[in-house]
Amino acid sequence: MRAPLWAVLWVLVGAAGALESSCGIEKGLCGRRCQLQVGGGASSDAWGGCQSMTIIHDDQPLVNPSARPQVCQALQLFWDSCQDEMEWEQSQGWEGLAAGCASVIAPDPPPQQPPAYCAWFGLHCCTPGDVAAGRCGAVHAVKALNMKVNSVNCSLSSDAVLDSLEQLHACGLRGLDLEGNELSGSLGPRWGSLNGLTTLDLGAGRVGLMRR
């Protein structure tokens, strides 16, 4: 059964109060690498708390290249988890993940050089203009994942899928469009931690709500 929009919003907003004191993207998720809050009080104990993974370049926040492996690993987890029964209609760039993230992430790249995944199908990275307009938090963050009608097939209650989305969210994800795909599962409490999302479209999928 397709979840009504008000119910989806309730799930996303309902858990936001519990994250009121968190750092990250707009009071986003702690405990994941690559928090993008510039100047936030980052904990230094073994990634146990919120981390600031940005640097300042040309007076703008820029994703530190050291954060790129975490983004790539999250993308690989999404790729591996969301083509269980069929291949995606379009997957330009994603095929490189077959050889692992080490083949995708350039060692010691210049900070201003966009990561390779910014050119992959369905991925939209934050530009300096986006940062200036307040549309995302740091240059080169993955601001949107748009896989509309692309034969993405997975359960939205899968731990692997949620691990992937939580990591991408911690690294700046603001928009998620999975409309018209082969989705299943329920929107449980973990979806409430993605409170930095400004757009979410799961239409035409077999998605329900997990009742408490």
| Residue 212 pLDDT exceeds 60 | no
* pLDDT in the model for residue 27: 35
| Residue 210 pLDDT exceeds 80 | no
Confidence label for 206 from pLDDT (cuts 50, 70 and 90): low
Q: How far apart are CA 66 and CA 71, in angstroms?
A: 10
* pLDDT in the model for residue 81: 93
Mean pLDDT of 17-35: 39
Whose tokens are 């409309």? That residue is 179
Please write the tens of the pLDDT for every residue from 149-178.
Answer: 999 999 999 999 999 998 888 888 899 999
| Residue 118 pLDDT exceeds 50 | yes
Please write the tens of the pLDDT for every residue from 64-93.
Answer: 777 788 889 899 999 999 987 789 999 999
Comparing 18-32, 112-126, 128-142, the range with the smallest average pLDDT is: 18-32
Please write the tens of the pLDDT for every residue from 179-191.
Answer: 999 998 888 898 9
| Residue 38 pLDDT exceeds 50 | no
* pLDDT in the model for residue 131: 81
Residue 207: closest CA among 143, 146, 175, 161: 161
Please write the tens of the pLDDT for every residue from 105-116.
Answer: 888 888 888 999
